[in-house]
């Protein structure tokens, strides 16, 4: 016995509904430290118009953001700041590593520069380029939207899976000494 469903009613899964809401209103946290930040600003400006993808509301308070865009090199002294801002952002949250420096340290292979932020915080998307064009940033946001739609769950189960993988990776690649939290004290 079929149930009469009116024409303007759609039946879906709760996960997919949540993903659809989340992916279309990403609020970026612009962690812009270098020339990538200029491209990030250009992406948010009228010519490239990030509003078409629902991600135009840049907020400088991490508590209002769910997408961290790390644009530019991160020096050693800045890393605790980056980690603190990441921890201050609410779940669910995602991270884009924009440009060669944020992803790998770029040409700055020196004692003062972090060789890829993914060694210290989780990263969802990497954008190559020095600096990347706004089109590349837009493409990565579109890809991230796809990822959120494909993998997301209401309870954030996908992050638990990612957490298990990342702990393993950190142990294999990068021994840490005196693992102390920067936020606790």
Binding site for another protein (CB under 8 A): 76-77, 79-80, 83, 86-87, 89, 91, 93, 109-112, 114-115, 119-122, 159-160, 162-163, 166-167, 170, 174-182
Q: How far is the CB of 75 from another protein (least distance, A)?
A: 10
CA-nearest of 176, 71, 37 to 119 is 176
Closer to another protein by CB, 101 or 138: give it.
Answer: 101
d(CA 93, CA 95): 7
Write the CB contacts of 36 (distance below 8 Å, at least 6 apart in sequence).
71, 72, 98, 99, 101, 102, 131, 132
Q: How far is the CB of 49 from another protein (least distance, A)?
A: 31
Q: How far is the CB of 113 from another protein (least distance, A)?
A: 8
d(CA 84, CA 120): 11
Closer to another protein by CB, 60 or 177: give it.
Answer: 177
Q: How far is the CB of 15 from another protein (least distance, A)?
A: 18
């Amino acid at each position: 016995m079929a149930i009469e469903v009116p024409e303007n009613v759609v039946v879906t899964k709760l996960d997919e509904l949540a993903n659809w809401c989340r992916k279309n209103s990403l609020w970026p946290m612009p962690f812009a430290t270098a020339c990538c930040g200029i491209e990030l600003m250009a992406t948010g400006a009228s010519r490239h118009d990030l509003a078409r993808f629902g991600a135009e509301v840049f907020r400088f308070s991490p508590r209002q953001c769910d997408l961290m865009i790390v644009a530019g090199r991160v020096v050693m002294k800045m890393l605790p700041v980056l980690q603190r801002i990441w921890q201050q952002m609410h779940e669910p949250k995602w991270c884009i590593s924009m440009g060669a420096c944020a992803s790998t340290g770029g040409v700055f292979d020196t004692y003062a520069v972090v060789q890829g932020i993914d060694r210290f915080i989780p990263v969802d998307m990497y954008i190559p380029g020095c600096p990347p064009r706004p089109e590349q940033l837009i493409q990565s946001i579109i890809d991230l939207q796809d990822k959120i739609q494909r993998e997301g769950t209401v309870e954030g189960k996908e992050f638990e899976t990612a957490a298990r993988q990342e702990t393993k990776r950190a142990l294999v690649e990068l021994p840490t000494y005196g693992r102390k939290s920067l936020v606790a004290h």
